């Protein structure tokens, strides 16, 4: 069912209910003073306090009313409603009436419980319902307490806001609410805001290698908000932006950068060769294939370059464990071979670590990751800290402290494009990266962030990339 048909149907239902309410005394609007001192004995004798200004009382049980003259006690058996077929829960209303003004002057609405087996009565407590009016999901505008079966008081209409006019209230499920609707439970009501944006269409534009594109969208000339198709669906610029296809932004002021990711040159950090020759980094022992012995463990490599580890004392294979050969750390899998070329979870289940093509766990360095944890092929650069943990959503300087990198929320270094910093970005030492949050940056093809540069962004807008890599407009 579409929304319009649903709205019309619920209006019809509301209208029918409203008609019904007028005829049923139990659901009459309870803005009259309440009759006090109401009690009911177990054998059905109802009594209440005298209401000043009333010259007769009417008793309604399950919608059928009888006059009780000016008496303030009444036997419920004197209605036609009490018999072996009476439902267990009945609605009861007492109304105080003034005949000279022809008006009700007080009323009491409640429910009673009746047992036809024992012919006993019980007055049920009145349920109080909270009715909350919200002007948006979280902004409470007014709150009322309303007895079950009664109506909420009409309230002042909230003021219109920029690009939205007030058009009524609705229930949580979107059904319209009217002040004539009976409240039967705790109820949350929300403003229906009808948008009055002045929308202008922005045509779709494909992305190129160097420039971002965009989906078709609409922008409001009054408030500047962006929308897809209709003005109820606000979107952000990021939602409609199609990233550039992957090369460095075309920008004459951008310094030329090497295509490959060069590890920063730093004499104080041991240099890790790109493809170390395994047997050469530790003396080969006399045993066939054994290339290292360290802390009671011997390390072997076979002709297929599988690395294994055994206890030196009794030759027992190491499985499902980390071992260090004195220089590098390996993880020996269930089959006894060292894990290679893989991202994996640290046994803490929290951090992601990486073993390179030689089975060496990567510490304090970049790695060109070819496979995700799930085994999907990628070509990403990730950075692993001194504990071997992958940086996720972290801005960090390189080892020389001169260039900045951003490892995004997936742990992947942003490279060769404009990007947005996430809302949870931190510095490598764990400090909150508040200066980055929500900002835009531009990474060179080698992953270094463009800094201290006047440039134009992916939309051709002029901006300055500050020392921290965040674009200032």
Q: Which chain residues interact with Zn ion by CB under 5 A? A: 163, 197, 220, 222-223
CB 72 within 8 A of CB 57: yes
Backbone angles phi, psi at 439, to 5 degrees: -75, 165
Q: How far is the CB of 467 from Zn ion (least distance, A)?
A: 36
Long-range contacts of 452-456, Cβ-Cβ distance < 8 Å, separation of 24 or more: 453/253, 453/254, 453/255, 454/253, 455/249, 455/251, 455/253, 455/254, 456/251
For Zn ion, give the closer residue by CB, 200 or 423. Answer: 200
Distance separating alpha carbons of residues 41 and 120, to the nearest angstrom? 9
Q: How far is the CB of 223 from Zn ion (least distance, A)?
A: 3
Q: How far is the CB of 220 from Zn ion (least distance, A)?
A: 3
Among 415, 411, 416, which Cα is nearest to 426's? Answer: 411
For Zn ion, give the closer residue by CB, 207 or 223. Answer: 223
Distance separating alpha carbons of residues 237 and 225, to the nearest angstrom? 9
For Zn ion, give the closer residue by CB, 161 or 222. Answer: 222
Q: How far is the CB of 222 from Zn ion (least distance, A)?
A: 4
Give me 197's structure tokens: 């944006």
Q: How far is the CB of 161 from Zn ion (least distance, A)?
A: 10
Four-residue CA torsion sign, 79, 83, 86, 89: positive
Which residues on neighbouring strands pair with residue 272, listed in sequence order?
none
For Zn ion, give the closer residue by CB, 123 or 223. Answer: 223
Q: How far is the CB of 200 from Zn ion (least distance, A)?
A: 11
Distance separating alpha carbons of residues 183 and 153, to the nearest angstrom? 11
For Zn ion, give the closer residue by CB, 197 or 298. Answer: 197
Phi-psi region of 270 (alpha: psi -120 to 50; beta: other; left: phi over 0): beta
Among 112, 68, 58, which Cα is nearest to 86's? Answer: 112
Q: How far is the CB of 225 from Zn ion (least distance, A)?
A: 5
For Zn ion, give the closer residue by CB, 198 or 423. Answer: 198
């Amino acid at each position: 069912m579409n929304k319009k048909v649903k709205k019309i149907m619920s209006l019809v239902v509301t209208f029918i209910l409203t008609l019904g309410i007028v005829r049923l005394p139990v659901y009459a609007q309870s803005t009259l003073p309440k009759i006090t001192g109401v009690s009911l004995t177990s054998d059905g004798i109802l009594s209440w306090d005298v209401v000043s200004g009333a010259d007769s009382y009417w008793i309604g049980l399950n919608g059928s009313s009888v006059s009780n003259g000016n008496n303030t006690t009444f036997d419920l058996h004197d209605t036609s409603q009490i018999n072996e077929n009476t439902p267990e829960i009945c609605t009861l209303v007492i109304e105080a009436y003034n005949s000279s003004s022809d008006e009700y002057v007080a009323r009491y609405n409640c429910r009673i419980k009746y047992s036809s087996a024992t012919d006993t009565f019980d007055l049920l407590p009145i349920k109080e319902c909270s009715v909350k009016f919200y002007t948006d999901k979280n902004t409470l505008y007014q709150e009322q307490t309303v007895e079950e079966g009664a109506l909420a008081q009409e309230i002042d209409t909230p003021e219109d806001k920029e690009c939205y006019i007030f058009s009524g209230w609705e229930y949580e499920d979107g059904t319209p609410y009217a002040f004539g609707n009976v409240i039967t439970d705790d109820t949350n009501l929300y403003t229906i805001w009808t948008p009055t944006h002045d929308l202008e269409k922005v045509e779709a534009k494909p992305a190129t290698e160097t420039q971002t594109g965009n989906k078709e969208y609409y922008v409001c000339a009054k408030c500047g908000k962006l929308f897809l198709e209709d003005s109820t669906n606000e979107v952000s610029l990021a939602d409609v932006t199609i990233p550039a296809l992957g090369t460095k932004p075309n920008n004459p002021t951008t310094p030329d950068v090497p295509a490959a990711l060069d590890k920063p040159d730093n004499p104080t950090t041991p240099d890790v060769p790109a493809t170390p020759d395994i047997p050469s980094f530790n003396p080969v022992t006399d045993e066939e294939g054994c290339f290292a012995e360290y802390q009671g463990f011997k390390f072997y490599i076979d002709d297929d370059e599988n690395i294994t580890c055994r206890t030196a004392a009794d030759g027992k294979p190491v499985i499902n464990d980390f071992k260090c050969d004195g220089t590098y750390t390996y993880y020996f899998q269930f089959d006894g071979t060292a894990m290679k070329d893989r991202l994996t979870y640290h046994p803490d289940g929290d951090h992601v670590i990486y073993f390179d093509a030689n089975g060496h766990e990567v510490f304090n360095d970049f790695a060109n990751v070819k496979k995700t944890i799930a085994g999907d092929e990628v070509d990403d650069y990730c950075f692993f800290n001194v504990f071997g943990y992958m940086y996720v959503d972290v801005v960090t300087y390189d080892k020389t402290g001169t260039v900045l990198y951003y490892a995004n929320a997936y742990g992947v270094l942003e490279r060769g494009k404009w990007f947005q910093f996430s809302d949870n970005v931190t510095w490598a030492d764990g400090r909150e990266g508040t200066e980055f949050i929500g900002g835009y940056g531009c990474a060179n093809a080698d992953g270094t962030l463009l800094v201290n540069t006047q440039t134009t962004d992916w939309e051709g807008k002029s901006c300055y990339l500050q020392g921290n890599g965040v674009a200032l407009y």
